[in-house]
Amino acid sequence: MSVFKTEAITLGRTDYSNSSQIITFYTRDYGKIHTIAKGFKRVSGRYSSKAIDLLTYYQILFIKKEYTSLHTLTEAVLQNNYPMLRNNLDNYYKASCMAELVNEFTEESDPSKQLFDIFLNTLNVISADTNATIQLLTFEMKMLKILGYLPELESCVNCKDSIQQVSEVHFNAREGGLLCKTCKVRFSNGIIVPLGAALIARRLVDINLQKLERVRIQSSICVEIEKMLRYYITSILNKELNSWKYIKF
Ligand SMILES: [Zn+2]
């Protein structure tokens, strides 16, 4: 039995019994973990298991068990619960979407400090109500890259030729990106995407987060990028995300 300390963001929470809950965190040092929070009462006013909220940033201590993936949460010190986010439903659902993505796309105990930092940074910015749509799209593109799912948006995913300057291109989720005019006839399914939206989505992958607050993208382009990402993510996960039902673009 060893005790571990790490930074953590709450991804999910389910009741386990009358006095305990299972809390899923994305942690900076240990990746996604499931912990059981056994009804510990408010001790110092700084934390209590009952007060463990979703989409909240904590410093946690947990005991790692050897033969189970359900660890024991012993302390959760609140760092930021983003009060402004709770007053803005639209942004709250965008933040929920990030948590759902991290939960669905990551494996247990497979950490990425880079993903944790981008998640935390974007949560901070979205909670301050800045450019939430562009922040979410950027998070999605960066997450796909970090986790090895980045779609090919610069050249044809099949023949590797550069995509001609046309107004619309073919995007095929199963192939993992854009298809040129010649190749698109060989693959069924897929969607049509404006080339401009695909190119802007690609630029978001490497954009500096500090500069992102000043970036403006037409809302019609944001809608096209999100449509493309939803189609692509649905194809990878084999399901749609719950939070999508509530997000307005
Ligand atoms: Zn091609």
210 and 90 in a common domain: yes
102 and 58 in a common domain: no
58 and 15 in a common domain: yes
234 and 212 in a common domain: yes
The alpha carbon of 180 and the centre of ligand 1 are apart by a number of angstroms equal to 4
Which residue from 148, 122, 150, 124 is spatially nearest to 136, judged by alpha carbons?
Answer: 122
Integer distance in angstroms from the first to the last C-alpha of the chain?
47
The alpha carbon of 174 and the centre of ligand 1 are apart by a number of angstroms equal to 15
Q: Quick one: pLDDT at residue 38?
A: 84
126 and 70 in a common domain: no
178 and 117 in a common domain: yes
Q: In the listed set 33, 66, 81, which residue is the last one of a domain according to the structure?
A: 81
Q: Quick one: pLDDT at residue 43?
A: 45
Q: With a cut of 70, which residues of the chain have pLDDT below it?
A: 40-50
The alpha carbon of 206 and the centre of ligand 1 are apart by a number of angstroms equal to 24
Token pair 């950027």 in the structure block, residue: 138
Q: Which tokens is 248 given?
A: 């307005």
Q: Distance between CA atoms of 105 and 152, rounded to whole angstroms?
A: 18
191 and 120 in a common domain: yes
CATH number at residue 207: 1.20.1440.120
Q: In the listed set 81, 97, 123, which residue is the last one of a domain according to the structure?
A: 81
Q: Quick one: pLDDT at residue 49?
A: 45
> What is the number of domains present in the chain?
2
- Residues spanned by the domain of 48: 1-81
Q: Quick one: pLDDT at residue 50?
A: 56
Q: In the listed set 46, 81, 116, which residue is the last one of a domain according to the structure?
A: 81
Q: Which tokens is 243 given?
A: 């939070």
206 and 142 in a common domain: yes
Q: Quick one: pLDDT at residue 163?
A: 86
What are the residues whose beta carbons fall under 8 Å from the beta carbon of 170, sequence distance 6 or more?
178, 179, 184, 187, 190, 191, 192, 193
240 and 131 in a common domain: yes
Q: Give CA separation, 177 vs 122, 140, 154, 185, in Å.
A: 25, 15, 9, 15
111 and 3 in a common domain: no
**In sequence order, what DSSP letters do the residues of 155-189 get, joined into one string?**
B-TTT-PBPPS-SEEEEETTTTEEE-HHHHTTS--
242 and 141 in a common domain: yes
The alpha carbon of 147 and the centre of ligand 1 are apart by a number of angstroms equal to 25
Q: Quick one: pLDDT at residue 114?
A: 98
The alpha carbon of 50 and the centre of ligand 1 are apart by a number of angstroms equal to 55
223 and 126 in a common domain: yes
CATH number at residue 28: 2.40.50.140
Q: Quick one: pLDDT at residue 95?
A: 97
